[in-house]
Structure 1
Amino acid sequence: MCRGLLLIILSFAISSPILADDVLLGQAFEQRQSGVQIQGEGEVIRLLSDDTKGSRHQRFILRLASGQTLLVAHNIDLAPRIADLKVGDSVGFFGEYEWNERGGVIHWTHHDPRGRHPAGWLSHGGRKYH
């Protein structure tokens, strides 16, 4: 009995790394933290126009499993655009979280040409964008 329970707990822990990061994102939001490197996944609920001031960014809003929303600002001068992105799609991410009242922003979803910042990425449709 104990061994079976341990296997269930281990399989849940191994298959749920995003759950832990949803918790971290929730904590970062509640504590108004910024500059946190985080990985997660969410559903696209809104596509926004590109930000073209300075470096160009593809922008969209994700809803996480926790219900928190998150703006993704993906630098398309340094990484490829997700061309076929649509509402309802699942997108994985690794980047830097910045707090705001609406749930926060994930950016640095690309490599750092200077090699000083952790490389981030987006994943969509079996492909990584970085």
Structure 2
Amino acid sequence: MQEQWEWMKEFAMPVELLQSIIYLQRALRDCVIQHQFLASKINILAMHQRPIIKRHMLELEREILSIGREQEGVVRQLSERVKRFQMTVQSQRKVALSEDIVCGYVSRHLAAFNDVTDLNGTVPKH
């Protein structure tokens, strides 16, 4: 298993791809939080205010779906890069990288990148 981790260190994720994933995750989180807030307040509003809030909620739902579609494409790009890397390591080094190792490495890399971008602001918050 240690050998697999060593090979994973050679896997490079483009900064643009990392930034896109982090940005989309933040945007999705923000939309969901706003939607939850509105949903929690709608029943205490006056009847004439409810349609306005429902429209805002529908707008947020459309935005959430849009972000999800965009995120799907970005994650597909990452998955394709990972698969190519796994095949390269398998054919050249005769080492099979387990899905757990690969997913764990990518997850840790994203988390570390997210922490760094929080500190220096290279990824705008949605």
Higher helix share: 2
Bigger radius of gyration among the two: 2
TM-score clears 0.5: no
Higher strand share: 1
Larger RCO (CA under 8 A, 6+ residues apart): 2
TM class by shorter chain equals under 0.3
Task: Tell me the TM-score normalised to structure 2 length.
Answer: 0.24
Task: Tell me the TM-score normalised to structure 1 length.
Answer: 0.24
